[in-house]
Chain A
Amino acid sequence: MKMPTPDEFTIARRAEIAAGLREIIGEAYVMADDASLKTYESDALSAYRQMPMLVALPGDTAEVSRLLAYCAQHDVKVVPRGAGTGLSGGALPLADAVTIGLGRFNRILEIDYANRSAVVQPGVANLAISKAMDAAGFYYAPDPSSQIACSIGGNVAENSGGVHCLKYGLTTNNLLGVEMVLMGGEVIRIGGKQFDSDGYDLLGVITGSEGMLGIITEVTVRILPKPPVAQALLMGFATTDSAGQCVAGIIAAGIIPAGLELMDGPAIKAAEEFCHAGYPLEAAAILICELDGPEVEVEELVRRVGDIATACDATSLRVSDSEAERQRFWLGRKSAFPAAGRIAPDYYVMDGTIPRRCLSQVLNRIAELSAEYGLQVANVFHAGDGNLHPLILYDSNVPGELERTEEMGGKILKLCVEVGGVLTGEHGVGVEKRDLMGEMFTEIDLKQQQRVKCAFDSEHLLNPGKVFPELHRCAELGRMHVHGGQTPFPDLPRF
């Protein structure tokens, strides 16, 4: 994985740049010593590490604006960073860039229950938003697995999902507005407490842009009344095929569960050993189906889902009869990643989406790859929306094993695209899947995306080297190559 060649001229000016940044945000908030910088050398994709040139921690929007204006003026690259929990290397530092951390933006500014919205700073942790309104009976729906730690600003940058997004949507479906600073220092506000923004949907394109279009300094989210009841079913199946049929059956019956998760045999075993959630160890696959809403609705849907599972030859079926039991069903799923960490020194999380009907085909092929590479794989699957997370287990101390893991991971993602899916469902492209973008997109597709980047950041100073396999200069991208006047219909067209 190749990052853009660091600019020696910038690195040579490091002390001068540090002084410039300190003038803006104060001595204490610009870090230049190795010990401090080390904290920032990777995000949660820790296979990739790079010490940043400098780290700056601004405290308000005006400071972010002045920092970006300074960096633009002095031609210094910038890497924005939230909580550093990203799984695709979106916040991987660059040797010639300033990492701007938003950790000091940690306040909830307003909760407006009457308009069902909350205004928060980007460094607030995802779960903290829901906690702040819990007593009033509201919550913020998207719930990535890292929700204790991940920041809402990072969620916006990555368009994060979570187990509840089939019913409640990804981050992009739960935002109302943002304040953002453009690379030149200009502060823009998009949306507000109203449902729809006017004009081009800038909020939509900023969400999931992986810190490449601007730095988010404030977020207005939509909040929802908490469903009165949630109940979960834990269903075991003898084959992943019958589990897959059960998923299709649930959706075909018009039921959109709050969560619908599948784990395969190796994932069940790892989770069970880790936290004793009571999963059926003999099953080849389990499904956890959560239903929420009014009591009478949940009761009826639990019955219907149970019937579908039975018709799909479920080998075991349990319905949570208390909140504690519901939590226990989830415990194994939610700790699938650390559980994998217990049975192997390292694990690599993949994140493709596939059409659900291809599940068995894809799992069979992954099993073949697993045998071929001699690397164990455990699969967890957001079954409702087709988002597959194979966890490849490896040992980075074995020479060459990381490289083989990455190669195998690349093959899994290509497989996802081959069957009609996509490279990433919720973790983002970052540096991890950057060089695979050509599997999904043509050169023309990618250039049009980069032109959007140019409209926000014409000098490629914001988070360069991420998402796009090749960096094209904006001037070059802007050129038109139309056969002037040579088109075959000077008079009026044949059609």
Chain B
Amino acid sequence: MNQALKPRTIDELVQAIEWAVAGVHPLELIGGGSKRALGRPMQVERTLDLSAFTGIREYEPEELVLTAGAATPLAEIEAALDQKEQMLAFEPADYGALLGAKAGATLGGALACNLSGPRRIKAGAARDHLLGFHAVSGRAEAFKAGGKVVKNVTGYDLCKLLTGSWGTLAALHEVSIKVMPAPERTRTVLVFGLDAEAAIAALGDAVSSPHDVSGAAYLPAALAARSQVAYVANAGAAVIALRIEGIGPSVEARCATLRAMFAPRGDIEELHSMNSRQFWREIRDVAPFAGDARALWRISLPPTAGARLISTVRETLVSEAYFDWAGGLVWLAVAAGEDAGAAAVRSAVAALGGHATLLRASSDIRTVVPVFQPPAPAIAALSARLKESFDPTGVLNPGRMYADV
């Protein structure tokens, strides 16, 4: 275990990175440390522990903006938002149970990895919610981008670039995010007994309807059985779940319409507040695959391609999968083996368009299998130039995304 650098001020953060740059000492950036098992394993000398940059700095609910230290625990942010009946609309996941991490996730970590939950189909991704940031680049320079207002096109949108950069461009220490009103009511319409192909059609019909569905998932029977929600677990059938959120009368009316719309296709049930929230937490946190030893792929692809993907993979691999994002996000578990079935998974994805990320596997496998979809050569070259523009000596999370980034 290396000894961590733990800067307490921005000056100290700059000095720490200066030190790393001067001697080319590669650093692993951590906030809470909950996502250390994600991405490619790195060869680093030191950990750069950013956990001192914490606390909510400004929160004005009526401006829909919150500014906080990047390492502020998500739980703290969510508690503060909850008090004002607001939320992070992109529904950041907690992969603690999935990855066996004890530490809690931080806001900066959620943004750096751009991992969005079920509401992504309606409210956008993490990347759509970062309004501005302060960071120190791999050039050991403190800089900022964006602002603290919800509408801003001043200068290049570096917020987008930093979101999903997995700490390879700069060390975030303060972020401003867009927050949204929390829905008054949440319900979920369940439709039972459809196979994957029929499910894709049903999910598509639901999100193409004007009923403003804010979550659209499908669990095959075996995975539904793992739910803590009795209505789901005890059904003994595959489950389609359609979440409806908003003001009371509207939620009731829309649920009724959806029930009528899907009644001809299967048995119908409706989850109310607590059950509905529990169910979508499970989908968000990939609970159906927590606590098993298989390798896990997170596959983003055109929504109609979900069923074809799993049937193609099944031709060569024993696998189990569920859909989120109306079929546009497939969580696929396969036996870890030596390579987590990478060849079969990636060739199936390549044929359909999209990308597969190896979200959970041993570090040995993540060393030999590219964790992120290998980009086209021109994109790889451009990404390398971008990395160099922020971090020319490659001291920030080197190799976390790709071998040379």
- A binding-site residues for B, Cβ under 8 Å: 112-117, 137-138, 158-159, 161, 165-166, 169-170, 172-173, 182, 186-190, 192-205, 207-209, 225-228, 248, 251-252, 254-256, 293-297, 300-301, 353-357, 382, 385-387, 420-429, 433, 437, 440-442, 444-446, 448-449, 451-456, 467, 478, 480, 482-489, 492-495
Contact = CB atoms under 8 A, between A and B. Distances in A.
Contacts of B302: 112, 115, 117, 192-194
A188 B376 contact: yes
B76 interface: no
A190 B120 CA distance: 19
B249 interface: yes
Contacts of A189: 376
Interface in B117-159: 120-121, 124-125, 127-128, 137, 139-145, 147-159
A195 B157 contact: no
B389 A195 contact: no
Contacts of B153: 158-159, 161, 170, 208, 424-429
A173 B164 CA distance: 15
Given A425-B152, A429-B155, A487-B15, A193 B353 contact: yes
A449 B170 CA distance: 13
Given A201-B164, A202-B379, A297 B329 contact: no
Interface in B197-238: 204, 207-212
B378 A297 contact: no
Interface residues of B, number: 101
B108 interface: no
B157 A172 contact: yes
Contacts of A159: 153, 157
Contacts of A444: 141-143
B181 interface: yes
Nearest to B164: A201
B161 to A, nearest CB: 5
Interface of B: 3, 5-8, 12, 15-16, 18-19, 21-23, 60-65, 85-86, 114, 116, 120-121, 124-125, 127-128, 137, 139-145, 147-161, 163-165, 180-182, 184, 204, 207-212, 246-247, 249-250, 253-254, 300-304, 325, 328-329, 353-355, 357, 372-373, 375-376, 378-379, 382-383, 385-386, 388-390, 392-393, 401-402
Which of B184, B207, B354: most chain A Cβ within 10 A? B354
A113 B149 contact: no
A446 B144 CA distance: 9
B151 A425 contact: yes
A162 to B, nearest CB: 11
Given A195-B121, A444-B143, A437 B383 contact: no
Given A195-B300, A196-B300, A188 B154 contact: no
Nearest to A293: B212
Given A158-B153, A425-B152, 20 more contacts: A114-B208, A188-B379, A188-B382, A195-B329, A198-B355, A198-B375, A200-B165, A204-B127, A208-B153, A225-B208, A300-B249, A355-B149, A356-B62, A356-B63, A382-B151, A427-B153, A452-B156, A484-B22, A487-B18, A493-B5
Nearest to B208: A225
Nearest to A492: B3
20 contacts: A116-B208, A170-B153, A194-B328, A194-B355, A198-B300, A201-B163, A201-B165, A202-B161, A204-B127, A204-B157, A353-B150, A356-B63, A420-B149, A422-B147, A437-B154, A440-B154, A452-B161, A452-B386, A482-B22, A485-B23
A209 B389 contact: no
A205 B184 contact: no
Given A385-B149, A487-B18, A115 B63 contact: no
Given A297-B250, A444-B143, A487 B6 contact: no
B246 A199 contact: no
B60 A355 contact: yes
B19 A353 contact: no
A252 B18 CA distance: 44
A448 B390 contact: yes
Given A169-B128, A226-B210, A483-B18, A194 B353 contact: yes
Contacts of A437: 154-155
A449 B353 contact: no
3 closest cross-chain pairs (CB), A and B: A204-B160, A297-B250, A254-B181
Contacts of A426: 151, 153
Contacts of B253: 294-297
A40 to B, nearest CB: 23
Contact of B160 (A172, A353, A354, A489): A172
A305 B63 CA distance: 18
Nearest to A168: B124
Contacts of A420: 148-149
Contacts of A203: 160
Contacts of B23: 485
Contacts of B353: 192-194
Contacts of B156: 205, 208-209, 449, 452-453, 467
Given A114-B304, A196-B125, A297 B148 contact: no
B390 A296 contact: no
A495 B15 CA distance: 10
Contacts of A425: 149, 151-153
Contacts of A112: 302
Contacts of B161: 200-202, 204-205, 452
A440 B151 CA distance: 15
A199 B372 contact: yes
Nearest to A159: B153
A252 B392 contact: no
A449 B143 CA distance: 10
Contact of A448 (B3, B121, B137, B303): B137
Contacts of B120: 195-196
Given A455-B389, A482-B140, A495-B5, A422 B154 contact: yes
Contacts of B61: 251-252
A133 to B, nearest CB: 11
Given A114-B204, A188-B382, A190-B379, A467 B155 contact: yes
Given A114-B204, A159-B157, A455-B382, A251 B64 contact: yes
Given A114-B204, A440-B154, A448-B143, A201 B5 contact: no
Which of A193, A295, A433, A441: most chain B Cβ within 10 A? A193
Contacts of B211: 294
Contacts of A492: 3, 5
A198 B325 CA distance: 16
A376 B144 CA distance: 36
Contact of B158 (A187, A205, A454, A455): A205
Nearest to B139: A480
Given A201-B163, A423-B154, A493-B5, A357 B63 contact: yes
